[in-house]
Amino acid sequence: MQFCTIFVCSSMQGTDLQACLGFPAPGGAVPSFTVLHFGEDSWGAEWIRILLDDSAWLECPGFAIDNEDSFSSECLPYKGP
C-alpha cells in the first residue's frame, strides 16, 4: 500500500502538497485516508475534496477530531452540488 503525508493548515496546492503531489490514484480512487490530530485544540472539516490530474474530484466525508484522535475513511467520486 502506498501512502503520503502532508500537514494541512487550510487549502493546499502545488508544492505545498509535498510528497502527495503526483501521488498515484489508480482508477481515480483514494481507497483510504487518515487524518491525525496532535495538540489540545480540536479540528474538523465539513469535507475534504481532492482534485485529480484528469480534473475529476473526489470527496472525503467530514469529521471532528480532538487531542490525539484520528479519523479514517474513503474518498468517493464527487459530481458537484
Report pLDDT for 12: 54
Q: What is the pTM of this model?
A: 0.67
Report pLDDT for 1: 46
- End-to-end Cα separation, the chain, in angstroms: 32
Other Cβ atoms within 10 Å of 74 Cβ, number: 12
CB burial of residue 7 (10 Å; 0-12, 13-18, 19+): exposed
Q: Measured between alpha carbons, how far is 36 from 29 in angstroms, rounded to an integer?
A: 21
Q: Measured between alpha carbons, how far is 4 from 10 in angstroms, rounded to an integer?
A: 17
Q: Tell me: pLDDT of 60 over 50.
A: yes
